Structure 1
Amino acid sequence: MTDRDLLREQWQTVAHALKIEFVGPFMFPLKNGHYEFACLLPQFGSERGMLIDVEYVRDAFAEAISAGFACSSMLAEEHHLPIDPADYINCLVDWGWSAKEPPPEWYHNAT
């Protein structure tokens, strides 16, 4: 399993537990091909969502941001397993709820 696969799996676990939308993998079209982000959280970061990947790739991130996405790079969790979705709430709150529908109750409780 690659680091990207592990990160995707971890965010899928968090999304399922917190009842938020998750798309993974997310293929983003570039001017010269495409880039595979680990995942997209459509309800966070910007109107088009938060793209997450294991590394910062300047061209892919720049094109995604120009297209209206927010982007974040992070490593997959290796030390605090199994994943506790509650550990990700502060990160999600920092990114901000960007969906038109109201956020879940846990989001209100964390802000």
Structure 2
Amino acid sequence: MNSQLGQSWIEAGADLGLRVATPFMLTTEAGQSLPFDAVIYDFGSTRGMLLMEHWDETKAKAATENGYGYSCMDAFRYERGSAIEILRDWGWSGAEAPPAWL
């Protein structure tokens, strides 16, 4: 089931053409499974940005060690301009050309 944060990024994905998965389970090389609210591919780090609504040091460390960026943020009501601002801050990391709106 999607969290409110995940649902907001699903809306952003539909509007902006993003690749989003929510919820997302990160499985580490050690076999540990860590749940995140969402992953936004092609932004932040080479593997994407993992999102969590509540700060967790273990998750942040695992994200970095596994090639992801991470962001801890409150759930929000989707607004196109705000989402684009967040995405610009994270930066494009996709293999293809970035979207025109970026």
Counting aligned pairs with the same residue, the percent is 31
Whole-angstrom CA distance in 2 between matches of 1:44 and 1:32: 25
CA shift, 1:32, in A, is: 6.2
Whole-angstrom CA distance in 1 between matches of 2:39 and 2:83: 15
Cα distance 1:33–1:66, how it changes in 2: closer, same or farther (>3 A)? closer
Helix, strand or coil: the match of 1:106?
coil
Residue 60 of structure 1 corresponds to 59
Residue 24 of structure 2 corresponds to 26
Residue type at the aligned position of 1:50: M
Q: Structure 1 residue 104 and structure 2 residue 102: aligned?
A: no
Whole-angstrom CA distance in 2 between matches of 1:39 and 1:21: 10
Whole-angstrom CA distance in 2 between matches of 1:32 and 1:57: 18
Return 5+ residue gaps in structure 1 as ranges. Answer: none
RMSD of aligned C-alpha atoms? 1.6
Match of 2:9 among 4, 11, 14: 11
Contact 1:37/1:51 (8 A) holds in 2: yes
**Greater percentage in helix:** 1
Helix, strand or coil: the match of 2:21?
coil
Whole-angstrom CA distance in 1 between matches of 2:81 and 2:16: 8
After TM superposition, the score normalised by the length of structure 2 is: 0.91
* Structure (1 or 2) with the larger CA radius of gyration: 1
Contact 1:13/1:85 (8 A) holds in 2: no
Return 5+ residue gaps in structure 2 as ranges. Answer: none
After TM superposition, the score normalised by the length of structure 1 is: 0.84
